[in-house]
Structure 1
């Protein structure tokens, strides 16, 4: 017996619940569009939660000693984000946690005269300032530090808090879909639609525009429709996580001989007594081809050379392999800006990559421009999906996964007690109180 599908009509359907999709969804809501966002794992999974949270204005792309297309494309982004954090921008981020209102550029040795002159030039005024010895952060206040240090007027956000804030703003419009039960199809007119199989009637979702913001997943979504354009490139990374008890809360790029930072450090609290240093930069790029143990040894050597006064002998180490998905560029170049464009061979599909966390607002602006050019105006109605699909969770951070919280003494004692009760119950099936009734009847005593 065939069950007819339940049909849903939307203005916009976003596929992918990372920062790009969530930011765009916030903009669509404020404009009054009839929209929904669909995620098949957890919100912020993969690239977004793996971000170091640095909302920068491109100064890390100037290490050749000159302004570049990449540095200028995002020069205004920190100001844009600051307005949103104050509740005065196009997206309300007032509930997002700021980890730091600045970060640093620093060198283990003195940097080249060319770069020193550039960082002190008028071209960088208001974006970077030299730091005097008495104002150095605690990590670099040691007598053996003799490098150069600059302070960037950029910000660092807690990625988990950011995703939670963005998702909360649009909670009625976020839905979890089962990747095994969901399929993109194309009708005879060349329009994509989404079919979701369920125990109840299947859902058939049509939209004036589908927008793929699924990062690396965009390629597989396109392949379901028999498409391969816009094409994607993958930039693999392997980040290192260092769990330690030192109080050094630090965010910064270490300058090396290359035009990308030698090492990037961001700090993330794990609990009241421990934090994790999350290491990126050239180390993470080189680490993409190493096994985890080899990369950890490389990270230990780097830190021992750059900050030898910090004892990490008791630290715990882990790595995270992650693919950064970007639009395909000539010669595998790094994209300067966010990207979104129509898919060739499908009338109602846009495909986008923000390329950097910083540029999520830029992608949303481009998407809204494309919708306006196509004459797609807001419907200002409910999606009609409430109660038909479950809600997605927020993804955990990489360090929460790598270093799961240890049990407290109380939790350990309770678990031991419950195990003993299970054993006692198994030995005597006539026991009048099973574990469940015992714990229920004795909650107050516990």
Structure 2
């Protein structure tokens, strides 16, 4: 056992998209950082994400570009810049599932969408497609409606984790809440002891998503970040494993300003595909049992894709709890969120797509604090175990008795 004390510039709690993005951003600026994760990297919210990097158009369905869509309009370009190596966070190894997304509708909804998108002159961001260019799942002659192509991409979240973890792998450490201890001070986290190794950071960033409320409890007891609280937004996603071959990345638009259904496609290890279903189905699903949600998923597929035969498909549900800063009336935040109190920062990206925005905000707070990068590179002792990588849920859920035949 080493007797040395580690003194990183910045200690980050949370190994999801927020923490991993931030450690890469801060390390690129010369800061010596460590990250602590109490489960698996990306295993909570990040790997449960659909991987959609959107620019806000799906929030424009009410007929106006909301503040939310305005705030994130630049995000697809920011991600593409990182993928090209033109950003402090290097994503050149990131795998993309689809360079575009689709949006489809029928009947009066289709007419309303056509008028809206034309009136906003959103050429370059959205394009109405001819039938010959429809995605294969919507190409059947029985489909009556309009299909649009958006310039938003969909990324492979497993690849995202691998790409972000690789440059800093030895600094992504396992934290055991039953064994390890936190020591708070008047200006922030004074120290954390991990498997007997004492870590005294100059600054601490709470980026633990669902773990932030517990960390905030400690901060509040130390009279830090007293006005900051978390809110949780639950979803009940549906996974559909099939061998129909259709890869779909699309939003189905109904009469409200939310997508009825959002579909992304992911690969299972056995070669079959999984359609991962979000949107209003997942939001309304939190009030249903698993069995009721599976039935709702079956009904939605039959209604929207009557020409596709899902009789041999398997279904599973996944409960996802997204963590956000507390808002009045539990509304969704418009932007990434970060606040500083002395040497402690609380942060939430609020959406996967807003990770670059979170990086900007946290970087500004660190610079505002006057903290300068340390001159001595950290050596991580052997006692500090690396946090394990998370595994996508669709790799395992259909082997665990969580399925239901369609």
Task: State the TM-score bracket (shorter-chain normalisation).
Answer: over 0.9
Instruction: Give the whole-Å Cα distance in 1 for the aligned partners of 2:86 and 2:187.
Output: 41
Is the CA contact (8 Å cut-off) linking 1:78 and 1:155 kept in structure 2? yes
Is 1:40 the counterpart of 2:61 in the alignment? no
Is the CA contact (8 Å cut-off) linking 1:339 and 1:352 kept in structure 2? yes
Is 1:364 the counterpart of 2:359 in the alignment? yes
In the other structure, the counterpart of 2:404 is none
In the other structure, the counterpart of 2:188 is 191
Moved over 6 A (4+): none
Instruction: Give the whole-Å Cα distance in 2 for the aligned partners of 1:271 and 1:391.
Output: 25
Is 1:204 the counterpart of 2:198 in the alignment? yes
Alignment CA distance shift 1:136-1:4 (3 Å): closer
Alignment CA distance shift 1:182-1:285 (3 Å): same
| Offset, 1:172 | 2.6
Is the CA contact (8 Å cut-off) linking 1:32 and 1:379 kept in structure 2? yes
| Offset, 1:401 | 2.2
**TM-score of the pair, normalised by structure 2:** 0.94
Is 1:387 the counterpart of 2:382 in the alignment? yes
Is 1:296 the counterpart of 2:291 in the alignment? no
> Could you report, residue by residue, the CA deviation over 1:242-294 in whole angstroms, capped at 9, with x for unpaired residues?
01111100100000112110000000011353110000000000001111110
| Offset, 1:296 | 0.6
Instruction: Give the whole-Å Cα distance in 2 for the aligned partners of 1:268 and 1:376.
Output: 42
Instruction: Give the whole-Å Cα distance in 1 for the aligned partners of 2:284 and 2:177.
Output: 32
| Offset, 1:191 | 3.1
Is the CA contact (8 Å cut-off) linking 1:242 and 1:318 kept in structure 2? yes
The structure with the largest alpha-carbon Rg is: 1
Instruction: Give the whole-Å Cα distance in 2 for the aligned partners of 1:150 and 1:265.
Output: 15
**TM alignment of 1:266-415, pairs within 5 A:** 266-271=264-269, 273-343=271-341, 347-404=342-399
Partner residue of 2:175 out of 174, 177, 188: 177
Is 1:150 the counterpart of 2:148 in the alignment? yes
Is the CA contact (8 Å cut-off) linking 1:296 and 1:317 kept in structure 2? yes
Gaps of 5+ in 2: 402-406
| Offset, 1:112 | 5.6
Most deviating of 114-123 and 361-370:
114-123
Count the aligned residue pairs.
397
In the other structure, the counterpart of 2:214 is 220
Instruction: Give the whole-Å Cα distance in 2 for the aligned partners of 1:34 and 1:395.
Output: 24
Instruction: Give the whole-Å Cα distance in 2 for the aligned partners of 1:123 and 1:388.
Output: 58
**TM-score of the pair, normalised by structure 1:** 0.86
Partner residue of 2:91 out of 90, 93, 103: 93
Is 1:13 the counterpart of 2:11 in the alignment? yes
Gaps of 5+ in 1: 407-446
> Could you report, residue by residue, the CA deviation over 1:210-261 in whole angstroms, capped at 9, with x for unpaired residues?
0010001100011133455411111110000001111100100000112110
| Offset, 1:118 | 1.3
Partner residue of 1:129 out of 127, 130, 144: 127
Instruction: Give the whole-Å Cα distance in 2 for the aligned partners of 1:393 and 1:191.
Output: 27
| Offset, 1:10 | 1.4
Instruction: Give the whole-Å Cα distance in 2 for the aligned partners of 1:81 and 1:62.
Output: 21
Q: What is the aligned-residue RMSD (CA, Å)?
A: 1.8
In the other structure, the counterpart of 2:165 is 167
Alignment CA distance shift 1:402-1:108 (3 Å): farther
1:324 counterpart SS class = strand
| Offset, 1:380 | 4.0
Most deviating of 367-376 and 122-131:
122-131
> Could you report, residue by residue, the CA deviation over 1:322-362 in whole angstroms, capped at 9, with x for unpaired residues?
1111111111111010001024xxx3110000000000111
1:143 counterpart SS class = coil
2:396 counterpart SS class = helix
1:83 counterpart SS class = helix
